[in-house]
């Protein structure tokens, strides 16, 4: 069984109001960072998963996302899987 390091990025879907993103963008502008545009604030989750294959890890991530990590009505997600070499 191998160990995999997983990074999950969760953001609001396009068209969903992101009040934190708006607040960060306004703060950046008020501090003189006028070139900052389209700020999105989301969740970044890391974890290690022990599995027999990368495909098994992907199935686990998809199942967790559907069951409790992501609200599919307003959020979307991407992830990266990397095998940890011992």
Find the domain containing 79 and state its range: 2-83
Q: Are 12 and 40 in contact (CB under 8 A)?
A: yes
Banded model confidence at residue 83, pLDDT cuts 50, 70, 90 = very high
CATH code, domain carrying 47: 3.30.1280.10
pTM given for the model: 0.90
Phi/psi for 63 (5° steps) reads: -65, -45
67 DSSP β-pair partners: none
Q: Residues 34-63: pLDDT tens digits?
A: 999 999 999 999 999 999 999 999 999 999
Task: Please tell me the distance from the alpha carbon of residue 40 to that of residue 75, in angstroms, as a whole number.
Answer: 12
In the prediction, which pLDDT does 9 show?
99
Q: Residues 9-24: pLDDT tens digits?
A: 999 999 999 999 999 9
Count of domains forming the chain: 1
Would you give the end-to-end CA distance of the chain in angstroms?
Answer: 12
């Amino acid at each position: 069984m191998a160990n995999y390091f997983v990074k999950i990025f969760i953001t609001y879907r396009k068209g969903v109001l992101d009040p934190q993103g708006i607040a960060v963008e306004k703060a950046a502008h008020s501090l003189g960072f006028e070139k900052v545009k389209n700020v999105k604030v989301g969740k970044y989750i890391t974890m290690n998963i022990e599995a027999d294959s990368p495909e098994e890890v992907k199935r686990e991530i998809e199942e967790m996302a559907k069951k409790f990590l992501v609200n599919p009505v307003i959020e979307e997600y991407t992830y990266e899987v990397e095998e940890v070499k011992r």
